[in-house]
Amino acid sequence: MKKSNPAALLPIGVFLILYLGLGILFEYVLKIPMGFYNIPIVVAFLAAILVACLQNREVKFDDKLGIMAQGLADKNIITMLLIFLTAGAFVGVVGRSSAESVAYFMLSLIPARFAVAVLFVVACFVSTAMGTSVGTITLITPIAVTVAQASGFSLPLCIGSVMGGAMFGDNLSFISDTTIAACNGQGCAMKDKFRENFGIAFPAAVVTLILILVLSLRTDLSGTVAQEYNLIQIIPYVLVLAGGIVGINVFVVLLIGIISGSLIMLATGQTAPTDLLANMGSGVSGMFETCMVAVLVAAMCALIREYGGFEALLSAIRHIFKGRRGGQLGMGLLVCAMDVATANNTVAIVMANPIAKEMAQEYGVTSKKTASLLDTFSCISQGAIPYGAQMLVAISAASELGYGITAFDIIPNLFYPGLLLISSLVFIFVVPQKDPNESDRQI
């Protein structure tokens, strides 16, 4: 066991001050649009690693490089990077046009009075299939604006429903950054984490849907929404979703999605053969920053662990959270704090992973339960913070269509994140838990 050393946590503090401080300055003082996302997160982590390297002069610099290399050599880190890149290739191949087809197909089948419920359900499906809440919000928000304009539903309710559904899928998707990061960081199988997670997320989604339906029945309607759609493009997403649920290896599932998506996009004329590889490359490129963050966090955490920083943090947690249930709440609050500071749930999970893994051993929590809690609590905070990418993208999409709306108009209509928090607390403190010594299935 390493000797407790609170000073070893300084690099995390440096990162948070740089990223959060500059983000607040850009977003709220200088009024720069998407200010938080103009901060180069990789540079902030490099500064934090520099601070870590300057600490503990008893360890030579070459030895510090060796410690960081050991942190990167973990099999779960390599697996996570490969899944990130493969998932990026899949999204690049299939594109995102099918999301609109799903929405307009369901809107054509279901009475207009239930249009907002349709938006929520469609956002749940699309985000689960695509693995991105931001991408889902980007695609479905213009449809939500159209629904509000044509039907008489309030715009904040429509956008809040889309955001809630997007966070549902972000939490459960097999190709979501958060799922990949949580599962590989804790060393558990994705289908095991999904089953653990589903018991938390599904009740929250059902209650959210009921609330939306109740509000919908009290709204006076004035019109309907109708657009063309093409359902054949949904097939690759359905194959990936079904393959993940039945437990097929994630690389095999993504390969099936890439091949089927390529064939469908070529057969329907949605893309030219010469553009297919370029689209795949663009999808992979979109994952580069996420991969680099995972690498830098692994290197930084290796030094912090070596210096005794994790032991200091765990010692503080032991004094606050007692017992296995308390430890689970501690994990959730840890990743929430990281997410509030970074406004990025994937980065929050990557940062919290090594600490949560030691907490899981300390409190006797299974790896699948730990991964589920990290993913769920990060989505709770990310889905509600007014400066998160999801909120800013929704506001921007509405603004581009001529509708001014603020985060504080939308937040009262974000039913799902609040209900997910309640469901998570019930899961931790009320639902009977299995023997902590039960075996976990490993990747």
Flag whether pLDDT at 63 surpasses 90: yes
Question: What is the model's pLDDT at position 442?
Answer: 39
In a domain, 349, yes or no: no
In a domain, 99, yes or no: yes
In a domain, 277, yes or no: yes
- For the segment 114-127, what is each residue's pLDDT rounded down to a tens digit? 889 989 998 998 88
- For the segment 269-301, what is each residue's pLDDT rounded down to a tens digit? 878 888 888 988 888 887 788 788 878 888 888
In a domain, 216, yes or no: yes
In a domain, 206, yes or no: yes
- For the segment 86-116, what is each residue's pLDDT rounded down to a tens digit? 878 887 887 666 666 777 777 777 777 888 9
- For the segment 187-197, what is each residue's pLDDT rounded down to a tens digit? 898 889 999 99
Token reading at 280: 């795949």
Question: What is the model's pLDDT at position 79?
Answer: 76
Q: Of 267-276, 326-335, 397-406, where does mean pLDDT reach its minimum?
A: 397-406
- For the segment 353-394, what is each residue's pLDDT rounded down to a tens digit? 888 998 898 888 999 999 999 999 999 998 888 767 788 778
Question: Using 50, 70 and 90 to split pLDDT, how confident is the model at 34?
Answer: low
| Domain limits for position 114 | 78-285
pLDDT, the chain, mean: 83
Question: Cα–Cα distance between 372 and 21 in angstroms, integer?
Answer: 30
In a domain, 197, yes or no: yes
- For the segment 142-187, what is each residue's pLDDT rounded down to a tens digit? 888 888 887 778 899 999 999 999 999 989 988 788 898 899 889 8
In a domain, 220, yes or no: yes
Determine the average pLDDT of the residues in 34-63: 86
Q: Which residues 6+ apart lie within 8 Å of 123 measured at CB?
A: 136, 137, 140, 161, 162, 163, 164, 165, 166, 168, 169
Tell me the whole-structure pTM to 2 decimals: 0.74
Question: What is the model's pLDDT at position 164?
Answer: 95
Query: Domain total for the chain?
Result: 1
In a domain, 158, yes or no: yes
Question: Cα–Cα distance between 94 and 72 in angstroms, integer?
Answer: 31
Determine the average pLDDT of the residues in 410-425: 94
Question: Using 50, 70 and 90 to split pLDDT, how confident is the model at 130?
Answer: confident
Question: What is the model's pLDDT at position 71?
Answer: 81
Question: Cα–Cα distance between 62 and 80 in angstroms, integer?
Answer: 27
Q: Are 217 and 436 in contact (CB under 8 A)?
A: no
